[in-house]
A and B are shown apart, each in its own frame.
Chain A
Amino acid sequence: MKGKTLVIRLAVLAAVIAVAAVMMVIGRGHTIYLDNKTIEDYQGQEYKSFERVVVTVDGEEAAKLNKRERGMATCMGQSFTMTLEITEKKGDEPRTEVVTVDLPYSVDGIVINLPALLAGLPEDAWYSEFVPQVQEEDEEPLPGEGDAFGLEGDMGLEGDMGLEGDLGV
């Protein structure tokens, strides 16, 4: 009986760990930055930006990009599918493409260059990691710092306690 109980407990524990692992994979969030910018020199060739790209993710319009613009979309999981409505040049009929990109687990922000991606170039041409700029910030007040009893400052004793002027004399 004891052995059976132990087996059941271990099985439950394993199931919970498995669920946690699945959650970590399917719930991993990424921010994807979509660039419609010209790549000027990739192996001696230029890949021009599109006139206009409309990016749709899960049926919702995520970005409308003109030349040299950047859009943003968020995504959960390890692959990102978007529908692109591309207008190559002014006056052209827009064409639609569905593109799926595999996302690396460890990267939060991913920059995708759309002209390079759609030209079928290797990953290093269209993919880069988004590194946010670190800003110098003021220190935040933390619990326990300063006067712990809320008696900061002058404790209401600063000034002349209403004894201004000539004291009625």
Chain B
Amino acid sequence: MKLKKNFDGLDFLQNNLVPLMFIIICAVCIPLSGFSASYLINEIVTRMGRNIFLILSLLIPIMAGMGLNFGMTLGAMAGQVALIFVTDWQIWGIPGVVLAMILSVPVSVLLGLLCGKLMNMAKGREMILGYMMNYFVTGLYQLVVLYFMASIIPIRHASIRLPRGFGIRTTVNLANMRQCLDNEFAILYKGVKIPVLNFIIIGVMCLIIIWFRRTKLGQDMRAVGQDMEVAQAAGINVDRTRIISIIISTVFAGFGQIIYLQNIGNFPTYTAHSQIGMFCIAALLVGGASVEKASIGNVFLGVILFHTMFIVAPRAGVAITGDAMIGEYFRVFVSYGVITLALVMYEIKKRRARSQGGELLAQAQRARREGGAQS
């Protein structure tokens, strides 16, 4: 029989500090913003449909003990490359989205493989490596998109080509696939548009994650995430498992970026991916996840809280200070602040656990010594 643990308020507060803080911020800002309930719900529902898939792609590397995958931006770049081709080939609507997803897979797999291999060389430093990989691969992406496309890689349409004849324009227009997923089977209820197909896709993705956790590979990832040495001793190929987790995350991030951009309807070719990792990670952390533990519930709660703050902060800023920019600064400050807080808390927890482990070991040695002296 499972014994119910006593409720520890301090422990609960410590574990849920970030979501609680955001609930308070939202509770204060929502009335100040003056938005109607239907407008606010409509905005949140739209952003849920747009962002959740991207954030779900972060769960698998956390399961494998690789922390927050800042390298998800690589997948986003793969998605963008695929969208450029699909736009050039004039494939519209849902077939365009599906084709872009298929085309993004080989690029994502390749980048994920590269990222995973490098992360295996820098175990314990995966997050900073993923973050730096963004900059490296962004350079590579710019080289390909700015110089190789329409010179080496054929691009037919002048509408996406730079006037100089090669390279892609600074903005790619996705008007022919804009909100094609959002509008399919959409339900309008009291001024709130529910993008049913998006939620079906998200639901399927959630089921895949739940199913994946129970597979042999999923169990291996959890074992690797808990203790790499023990997992290695148990016969699990740790390096391979970690690489697979990063590849899966990168592929899903590519899909997520395509879903995200089809909702927006255009994308800045050279910068669309740059902040996506940061905001997704911030949203996940706002939902109560940590560097070593995250669930689907954290994703949903995080998107709701983080984006509620995104929507209401500028108007609340106007109400409080008379300047919308204050709200804008506030939300950027909070995004980065929450990541910093999560990383600091993770490090503190790790050190505390290490020192507790050391104390236990010292106690055991002392007891053994005393036992030996008595005998």
Contacts and interface: CB of A to CB of B under 8 A. Distances in A.
Contact of B91 (A16, A19, A27, A141): A27
Interface stretch (B93-101, B195-203, B223-231, B334-342): B93-101
Contacts of B283: none
B270 A140 contact: no
A77 B308 CA distance: 40
A70 interface: no
Nearest to B143: A144
A19 B196 CA distance: 23
B219 interface: no
A98 interface: no
B142 interface: yes
Indicate the size class of the contact surface on chain B: 20 to 34
A140 B162 contact: yes
B270 A27 contact: no
Contact of A19 (B98, B169, B176, B271): B98
B330 interface: no
Contacts of A141: 170
A22 to B, nearest CB: 8
Contact of B146 (A23, A26, A132, A143): A143
Interface in A67-115: 74, 76, 108
Given A24-B91, A28-B90, A139 B163 contact: yes
B300 interface: no
Contacts of B142: 143-144
Contacts, number: 69
A76 B170 contact: no
Given A134-B158, A137-B163, A139-B163, A16 B92 contact: no
B102 A19 contact: yes
Indicate the size class of the contact surface on chain A: 20 to 34
A76 B102 contact: no
Given A23-B102, A134-B158, A76 B92 contact: yes
Contacts of A27: 91-96, 98-99
B167 interface: yes
A43 to B, nearest CB: 34
Interface string A46-78: 000000000000000000000000000010100
B91 A23 contact: yes
Nearest to A27: B95
Interface in A137-169: 137-144
Nearest to B91: A27
Contacts of B23: none
Interface of A: 16, 19-20, 22-24, 26-30, 74, 76, 108, 132, 134, 136-144
Please name the 5 residue pairs, one residue from A and one from B, whose CB atoms are nearest each other, closest first.
A27-B95, A29-B92, A23-B95, A27-B91, A23-B99
17 contacts: A16-B105, A23-B95, A23-B96, A27-B91, A27-B98, A29-B90, A29-B92, A30-B90, A74-B176, A76-B92, A108-B157, A137-B163, A139-B164, A140-B162, A143-B170, A143-B271, A144-B146
